[in-house]
A = this chain, B = another copy of it.
Amino acid sequence: MSDQPDARARFLRLHDAMRTRICLLDYPPGTRLSEETLAAEFGTSRTPLRRVLARLEDEGLVISQHGVGTIVTDVDPGEMARTYDLRRELAGLVGRLSPVAITDEIVAMGHDFLTRGEALLTNPEVRALARLNMEYFHFGTSLTMNEALRDTSERLYYRTARIWLKATSHLDLVEETAIFVAELRDSLQALQARDAQAAADVRRAHISLCIARVNAARR
């Protein structure tokens, strides 16, 4: 049924696993990854794993140095700020470039996200928050039919996600969770109005606020 050849399927699986680990800070910036060890863990040889690391390097998540190792990158604060600037603009574009029609199903998904977010309020946990945020981000990009916009947004998201997560550890987790739930609430309202542009604007606004918050925390 699946038209994914084994090789490609495995590549996607490993890539996703590694990307998630990096973005969830299982491998904090500076961590030295061993090709041999990872290959053994995933039950392959170095060759397919190197393909994965090569892509992660292209995406800016790791950097390989001959004779040294493959190291998880950190992100320069200035560059991160500029990346967020772009992410904010792209979030707004989701509402303008080939937005999808908001169906009942999409509204239901929005409602589901809110429910799951509210569950976090009673039991805040940074990893669960990060995971939900990641899932919700994908949901957000799925609101445009523009593939290039989707791919670009996700690429930039994964580049900055762990920095937000690191900042969240320093900020108040409870407060950050509450802010996220508020975003989910605003978002659901826009979806219920069947207004894709409004939903995109909600995201845009919250990215702006997030930038301000992280900048304030850095001081």
Chain A interfacial positions (CB closer than 8 Å to B): 5, 7, 51, 54-55, 58, 66, 79, 82-83, 85-86, 89, 93, 97-98, 145-149, 152, 155-156, 159
Give the CA-CA distance A79 to B146 in the complex, in Å.
7
Question: What chain B residues lie within 8 Å of A98 (beta carbons)?
Answer: 82, 85
Considering the complex of A and B, which 4 residue pairs feature the smallest CB-CB distances, nearest first? A83-B148, A82-B146, A86-B148, A85-B97
Residue of A7, A54, A148, A149 with most chain B CB atoms under a 10 A cut-off? A148
Contact B5 A86 (CB under 8 A): no
Give the CA-CA distance A156 to B148 in the complex, in Å.
8
Give the CA-CA distance A218 to B3 in the complex, in Å.
32
Chain B residue at minimal CB-CB distance from A59:
B58
Question: Are A82 and B147 CB-contacts (below 8 A) given A89-B97, A152-B152?
Answer: yes
Question: What chain B residues lie within 8 Å of A79 (beta carbons)?
Answer: 147-148
Contact of A86 among B51, B152, B155, B159 (CB under 8 A): B152
Question: What chain B residues lie within 8 Å of A58 (beta carbons)?
Answer: 55, 58
Question: What chain B residues lie within 8 Å of A55 (beta carbons)?
Answer: 54-55, 58
Give the CA-CA distance A98 to B78 in the complex, in Å.
11
Give the CA-CA distance A193 to B71 in the complex, in Å.
45
Question: What chain B residues lie within 8 Å of A159 (beta carbons)?
Answer: 148
Could you tell me the distance in whole angstroms from the C-beta of A203 to the nearest C-beta in chain B? Answer: 16
Give the CA-CA distance A97 to B78 in the complex, in Å.
13
Give the CA-CA distance A54 to B145 in the complex, in Å.
26
Q: A83-B147, A152-B152 are in contact. List 11 more A-B contacts (CB 8 A).
A: A7-B66, A51-B54, A58-B58, A79-B148, A82-B97, A85-B97, A86-B148, A86-B149, A148-B156, A152-B155, A152-B156
